[in-house]
Structure 1
């Protein structure tokens, strides 16, 4: 134990899953820092039981144990605002892991304040993006918070060393490596599942068919298409096939129907904020469907230049989330602009789902549509649009091109 460390800290809040890494971290904090550990386990729709974490924490002597259902807050205050911006990182990644981190960071800081803890701790490695996301979020919300990142301090840098440490300290580990265990790591929440590491580190390697958990193989999806309707209010989905649903229930329903039709798989090589390229596979069935539908309702309700402005801002907005700047002043200001654009984004979108594909086959807005059939029609528009006006419009826009060509 480090005496100097124990004098500085008497209590630390740990983001705790109950798995091998965070269970070892819990004991390591007690041993290395001589401090009391408060555990925080967030249920954000990862699809695994979170209550067993309580028994594990109790066995390791933890008194203050926080286990919280944050599904509704996660979708309402983080996922939906992000989808109002149509955010995609590098054109493909729907930011499923990235968007969960600011919520967890916020609760870690809040619990630290509630319990009088001087520090927070997490199990993110020194090679990944999550360490940046957790810590940028925590510092933004509580500038003087101390953060302990064991992966940057200890020498337990392999699974074998972690297992040996767990055995030495009588830490129960259900996840010992089995022969048929998947050769990759996973992170899940209500928006997505990510798969990384192991054989996936070879970008030429095709994932095994049984890796995917939320989507059926498109080739094995139903042989008949399914039509669905999503109703939007101020840019957020509020009804599915005419039935009102809460944010979390809406995302679960979208996951279910899109996953059944094999929609939402992505195999990406992305640029991490820490500087390296990383190959990851993602399942985001509901999010993929939501993005398509949201763009469709925007297509008839948003002014052209407003829509183009959003598209210009989107890559910057998505990068801010990916890099961990959810609580930054620039993201917060951009969100105000984005939310303001959504006041007219109301209406219904109809989609056709079939074997990994989704097609928008209808969109309507009774109150906010800017689509005027009397003007856009190829039939007689009865004078709603004077086609002769186009001649001057074209000549004015061609003026600089004509001048440039004359100079040549």
Structure 2
């Protein structure tokens, strides 16, 4: 599917591609609506022209032995870039953390052939209902060689990122500005001061030595 992007004699021109998602599902490429199989085929062709999604990995097998594999998934890599961009633009930090944790667990179950196990169904339902359902929008990506790309534009009806509301510059009617940031840093410093006091307490009790923050003995019973 992919070209020899590591070979400098292979000419690869940059290319812009626009991916659209509706409720977590890719529905069009470059403005052309496609059903699932045709869309993946088109994504493979586009990504393959640039050598996107090639990986040389040394990994763990289920039999607890190491193996080396050369993987090629240009279409999945292309869709993944766009999907992750929308995830980061729409959901908050904690939701994204849960999405990554549950995604890794689901990936492991899939690797073990447990796609229809109850735990897989639970994870899939959670991710589809609370994460994917909000992923509607378009991402424009400029592809170059291999995994070298730039995100050109991100749009959608549910983006949490609003530059006009959050700016460190002089933005009229901004909900958050430089003055607010100073106040936030002041409040954050309270916790840092508390932590410093605890470190000084640990040092006075002999738990820290030589500034290395290494536990050197248990707290003596009073």
Q: How many residues align?
A: 195
2:43·2:74 contact (CA, 8 Å) conserved in 1?
A: yes
Per the normalisation by structure 1, the TM-score is 0.45
Which of residues 373, 377, 385 is equivalent to 2:167? Answer: 377
Match of residue 343 from structure 1:
133
Task: Measure how far apart 1:287 and its partner are.
Answer: 0.9
Aligned to 2:75: 286
Does residue 215 (structure 1) correspond to residue 2 (structure 2)? The answer is yes
- In structure 2, relative to structure 1, the CA distance for the partners of 1:363 and 1:332 (3 Å cut) is farther
- Give the corresponding residue for 2:102: 313
Q: Answer yes or no: is the 8 Å Cα contact 1:296–1:360 preserved in 2.
A: no
How big is the shift at 1:368?
0.5
In structure 2, distance between residues paired with 1:388 and 1:280: 50
The equivalent residue for 1:299 is: 88
Shift of 1:221: 4.5
Structure 1 residues 363, 247: closer, same or farther in 2, change over 3 A?
Answer: same
Instruction: State the shift of 1:238 in Å.
Output: 0.6
What is the DSSP-based 3-state SS (H/G/I as helix, E as strand, rest coil) of the residue aligned with 1:331? helix
- Equivalent residue of 1:215, what SS? coil
Partners in 1 of 2:100 and 2:63 — Cα distance? 26
In 2, Cα distance between equivalents of 1:394 and 1:247: 48
More relative contact order, 1 or 2 (CA 8 Å, 6+ apart): 2
Per-residue CA shift, 1:242-274, capped at 9, x if unaligned?
Answer: 010111111100100111111121111111112
Q: Secondary structure at the match of 1:278?
A: strand
Q: Contact 1:222 / 1:261 at 8 angstroms: preserved in 2? A: no
Residue in 2 that maps onto 1:232: 21
What secondary structure is seen at the aligned counterpart in 1 of 2:165?
helix
Counterpart in 2 of 1:353?
Answer: 143
CA drift of 1:276 comes to 1.6
Q: CA deviation at 1:217?
A: 0.4
Q: What's the offset of the Cα at 1:326?
A: 0.9
* Equivalent position of 1:398 in the other structure: 192
Long gaps (5+) in structure 1:
1-213
Deviation at 1:335, TM superposition (A): 0.7
Indicate if the aligned counterparts of 1:353 and 1:359 stay in contact, CA closer than 8 A.
yes
Query: Match of 2:214?
Result: none
Q: Cα distance 1:280–1:388, how it changes in 2: closer, same or farther (>3 A)?
A: closer
Show the 5 A alignment for 1:64-79: none
Match of residue 52, structure 2, among 239, 242, 263: 263
The verdict on how the C-alpha distance between 1:347 and 1:373 changes in structure 2, with shifts beyond 3 A counting, is: same
Q: 1:349 touches 1:360 (CA, 8 Å); kept in 2?
A: no
Unaligned runs of 5+ in 2: 204-222
Greater C-alpha Rg: 1
Q: Distance in 2 between matches of 1:260 and 1:402?
A: 54
Which residue of structure 2 aligns with residue 173 of structure 1?
none
* CA deviations over 1:71-117 (Å, ceiling 9, x no partner): xxxxxxxxxxxxxxxxxxxxxxxxxxxxxxxxxxxxxxxxxxxxxxx
Mapped partners of 2:125, 2:193: distance in 1: 38
CA apart distance, 1:364? 2.5
Alpha-carbon offset, residue 322 of structure 1: 0.9
1:11-30 to 2 correspondence within 5 Å? none
